[in-house]
Chain A
């Protein structure tokens, strides 16, 4: 019984998949385990890693039980030394990484005897990306990255070919609120890639500075790079140097509310905003929709492939929605993005 979600993943040829959560307790690890099982049935060699801490016995804040992680035979796992030592599965050490966590250095291992493992990964996207690459080098056919809490950085295109967004009842007080927040996050994740000469100019701008203005010139763009210690500090200058012929503002780091608010004031049709990818957006829905309604555009140098959304209709404090209704309404709201409730649909 190969599932729809699994077919979708394999059909789109995603080799590394990150499961990213909207918040705590939305079923990231349930989705993760579901894919582990599906791949195991197909005898695919998996690589397993967490962007946070997964497979623990209970939640450190709510003290409620958490889904454990069962590592199949032959799978590769990357986890902190203390978790390697305490694993129920029999693990063979392949390589020590240079990355550390509060529970020790991250080790790469192969599962000799299947069993439960706790996965503790490094805190940075760069480190996660390196470990994903190493798992491919050791022969993983697919790598699954379990996300952490509400952190979206693991959606980075530097890390995974595609992502699955996990959302659920614990995201907000009402179903409408949960749907609204999920729709907004999907809108941000699916901002289009900047194309053509504008993309070339934006990349060139970030080669020379932390941010850049792209002005319309005869048949190309004039690039005005801005240097600063970090991109955030360059952002203020970006807006003040805006001119009538400015086509786009390129942000080398985070796009935050403060700058978006200033950009909205610029003129009836504001310039296009370009970010590296959607994980750099730290903007509130109110400002975003105001900007979009004014005809504003936000584009990314690298787009994120949002493969699907999974739902958890209950939260750990017992509040929950009718799974059927939640699924139907979310499918409507997120169309054409595929939506699954893996527990209900099973």
Chain B
């Protein structure tokens, strides 16, 4: 039984049977007509011989369905190429010893929730001494001097404070939604840093539930951290990048 990676189909009981389960709600009352409507939707989705196995009246004229069918489509798995980031992740001890041996000074990290954002949970998990999920926060790192400026810090103030504290890295947390305001607040920090001639002197790092590497690049940040990030991931990046930049 070998999988043809050029034509991967969904799997149920036997290879290439294309079986799949879907569930959805229609805004119509339960009944034979609703069942047929659900079947037709599945057909249009490319499912062969769809069978409605569950129909539940949700009340107020809505009905929930579960269907099984055979998906007629396949994908060429072999041709899929996804750019992947390869970050070296070190533990607490490794980060501290790298900073100590390669930089020979403490690393200053300034963190804040900028603009109108007051969601400090993310930044607190990374910075606070007690840390998160068994990983110490940056405040606990002997070789890192971490400052948490709190929430709703305007970008200009954050930059000014970062300069006064001699920051090596600025960490901003932002709950980005589809509304542009959050994105614009993140890009404004990058633009201000650029205008002030600071862009190449400090690492800019953003984090939040919707942040990915790709989005971080688009926003102009040196790194972006999304859900599941632990303090040592951020610390590893800062240490490795500062050491890299420190090399002649």
Q: Which residues of A contact B (CB under 8 A)?
A: 23-24, 51-53, 56, 60-62, 80, 82-83, 85-88, 100-104, 118, 120-121, 123-127, 148-153, 156, 229-233, 252-254, 256, 258, 279-280, 282
Contacts and interface: CB of A to CB of B under 8 A. Distances in A.
B217 A150 contact: no
Nearest to B211: A60
A20 B150 CA distance: 33
B42 interface: no
Nearest to B222: A123
Interface string B139-182: 00000000000000000100110011000000000001010100
Contact of B220 (A103, A148, A256, A280): A148
A97 to B, nearest CB: 12
A104 B200 contact: no
Given A60-B212, A82-B86, A102-B217, 7 more contacts: A23-B180, A86-B84, A102-B85, A124-B200, A148-B217, A156-B194, A231-B197
A52 B215 CA distance: 8
B217 A254 contact: no
Interface string B114-149: 000000000000000000000000000000000000
B38 to A, nearest CB: 24
A85 B86 CA distance: 12
Q: How large is the interface on B (under 10, 10 to 19, 20 to 34, 35 or more residues)?
A: 35 or more
Contacts of A61: 176, 178, 183, 210, 215
Given A61-B178, A123-B204, A124-B200, A88 B81 contact: yes
29 contacts: A23-B184, A24-B180, A53-B215, A60-B212, A60-B214, A61-B176, A61-B178, A61-B183, A80-B217, A82-B83, A82-B85, A86-B81, A86-B84, A87-B81, A100-B244, A102-B214, A103-B213, A120-B217, A123-B190, A123-B217, A123-B222, A126-B199, A148-B218, A149-B183, A150-B183, A151-B187, A254-B192, A279-B194, A280-B195
B191 interface: yes
Contact of B217 (A101, A152, A231, A280): A101
Given A60-B212, A149-B183, A233-B160, A254 B218 contact: no
A230 B176 contact: no
A153 B178 CA distance: 22
B219 A104 contact: no
